[in-house]
Amino acid sequence: MKDLIKKLTEAYGPSGFEDGIRDMVRAEIEGHVDELSVDAMGNLVAFKKGDGTGRKVMIAAHLDEIGVMVTHITEKGYLRFTNIGGVHAKTLLGSRVQFADGTIGVIYSDKNGDRHKVLPIDKHYIDVGASSREDCPVQVGDAAGFVDTFFENGNRIVAKSMDDRIGVVMGIEILRAGYRPMHDLYMVFSVQEEVGVRGAQAAANYIQPEVGIAIDVTSTGDMLNGPEMAVDLGKGPAIKAKDSGMISHVGLVRLMKKRAADAGIPYQIEVLVGGSTDARAMQLAGPGSIAGCVSVPCRYVHSRSETADIRDVENGIKLFREILTKPIDL
Ligand code: CO
Ligand code: ZN
């Protein structure tokens, strides 16, 4: 599984530019599902038929990652850019970004009189090695993702776009696990989550699941001088109670806790003060659905070193087996 995590976290795929990462995921699950389709927005929908006694369940993990888009090219060939999703200006200086064609650039900022001050995003630029607008290999409107390599620190796994490629890996592993789910399962590898859960919204409106569960990352309370939050790395997948966009269905939370406890799987309860997930889109789609989220605890979200714990990933995959092979009676 770690090879797959490395491959997918290092891959390119900012919101709206998920074609390449989608093809990679499709290749991993072909032959393991009953149907596979791509909708107009670019969501990859994998269907696995249940045993006929269950419910209609949609699980969503997003393919896209935060990134940047070129807004202007200067005469000397530097690129001004805007953010795609929640990019923090303080993470930019010295970062490398990569475009779809493989072009790599370095981000730096305008002259900064006070080096303790972080300049806003529009005072940064990308240097792709061009010396004029004419010889610049990149165009206005091109998108780039950040570049960094995956590595392991014991049980810790570190990568850019762990958000949400780790959820994508879990989705792939759930489909490849070999068991037949009780429920009709629509595993959606969604697009454009980082810009407002847009892909999942379209997919959920079409699929109209009875039950919708997102797999995504959440922040933790175990960072030095970080926020107070009852989620730590390595203490189990987090069952979301609430984030800033959704209150999980209490019955589904209760059921997921019971499934975890009965199987001896460690878990935590997540209350996230900022941010939301595809679960919000599923909850509000069509006539509404029973929605919840299983989160992978992750430090340093939206930096190039998003840090998770492999045991939480493994336990999350086990928890989904319990959910998908037993009744969802709320
Ligand atoms: Co995110
Ligand atoms: Zn995410």
* CATH code for the domain of 288: 3.40.630.10
Residue ending a domain, among 100, 116, 146, is 146
Residue 164 in tokens: 């949400």
151: in domain:
no
| DSSP assignments along 144-172, one per residue | EEE----EEETTEEEETTHHHHHHHHHHH
Could you say which of 193, 194, 270, 306 is catalytic?
Answer: 193
The reported pLDDT for the residue numbered 176 is 98
Q: Determine what percent of the chain is predicted with pLDDT higher than 90.
A: 98
Same domain assignment for residues 104 and 197: no
CA–centroid distance, 167 to ligand 2, in Å, is: 8
CA–centroid distance, 155 to ligand 1, in Å, is: 22
Asked if the peptide bond before residue 163 counts as cis, ω within 30 degrees of 0, the response is no
Ligand with minimal distance to 296 CA: 2
Flag whether pLDDT at 102 surpasses 90. Answer: yes
Same domain assignment for residues 76 and 203: no
113: in domain:
yes
CA–centroid distance, 121 to ligand 1, in Å, is: 18
The reported pLDDT for the residue numbered 250 is 98
285: in domain:
yes
For the residues 155-183, what does the mean pLDDT come to? 97
Helix locations, 208-289, DSSP H: 250-263, 278-284
Backbone φ and ψ for 202, nearest 5 degrees, come out as -65, -45
Residue 145 in tokens: 């993702």
Ligand with minimal distance to 274 CA: 1
CA–centroid distance, 180 to ligand 1, in Å, is: 31
Domain of 83, CATH number, reads: 2.40.30.40
Ligand with minimal distance to 85 CA: 1
Residue 292, beta-bridge partner list: 213
Same domain assignment for residues 194 and 57: yes
165: in domain:
yes
CA–centroid distance, 302 to ligand 1, in Å, is: 6
CA–centroid distance, 193 to ligand 2, in Å, is: 7
Buried-state track 85-124, b at ≥16 Cβ within 10 A, e below 16: bebeeebbeebebbbbeebebebebeeeeeeeebbebeeb
Same domain assignment for residues 180 and 284: yes
**Based on the structure, what is the number of domains in the chain?**
2
How confident is the prediction for the chain on average, in pLDDT?
A: 97
Q: Give residue 173's pLDDT band: very low, low, confident or very high (50, 70, 90).
A: very high
Flag whether pLDDT at 190 surpasses 90. Answer: yes
Ligand with minimal distance to 84 CA: 1
Same domain assignment for residues 191 and 280: yes
Least reliable range by pLDDT among 110-119, 183-192, 275-284, 307-316: 110-119
pTM: 0.97
Identify residues whose C-beta is under 5 A from ligand 2, the ion. Answer: 163-164, 216
Are residues 17 and 99 in contact, defined by beta-carbon separation less than 8 angstroms? no
Ligand with minimal distance to 277 CA: 2
Same domain assignment for residues 194 and 226: yes
CA–centroid distance, 160 to ligand 1, in Å, is: 11
For the residues 115-130, what does the mean pLDDT come to? 96
CA–centroid distance, 217 to ligand 2, in Å, is: 6
Beta-carbon contacts of 250 under 8 Å, excluding residues fewer than 6 positions away, are: none
Same domain assignment for residues 178 and 300: yes
181: in domain:
yes
47: in domain:
yes
Same domain assignment for residues 308 and 214: yes
CA–centroid distance, 131 to ligand 1, in Å, is: 34
CA–centroid distance, 224 to ligand 2, in Å, is: 22
Same domain assignment for residues 56 and 168: yes
For the residues 73-94, what does the mean pLDDT come to? 97
Domain that holds residue 134: 67-146
- Known catalytic residue: 270? no
The reported pLDDT for the residue numbered 77 is 97
Same domain assignment for residues 180 and 219: yes
Ligand with minimal distance to 167 CA: 2
Same domain assignment for residues 218 and 168: yes
Flag whether pLDDT at 115 surpasses 90. Answer: no
The reported pLDDT for the residue numbered 170 is 98
For the residues 205-211, what does the mean pLDDT come to? 98
Same domain assignment for residues 48 and 83: no
329: in domain:
no
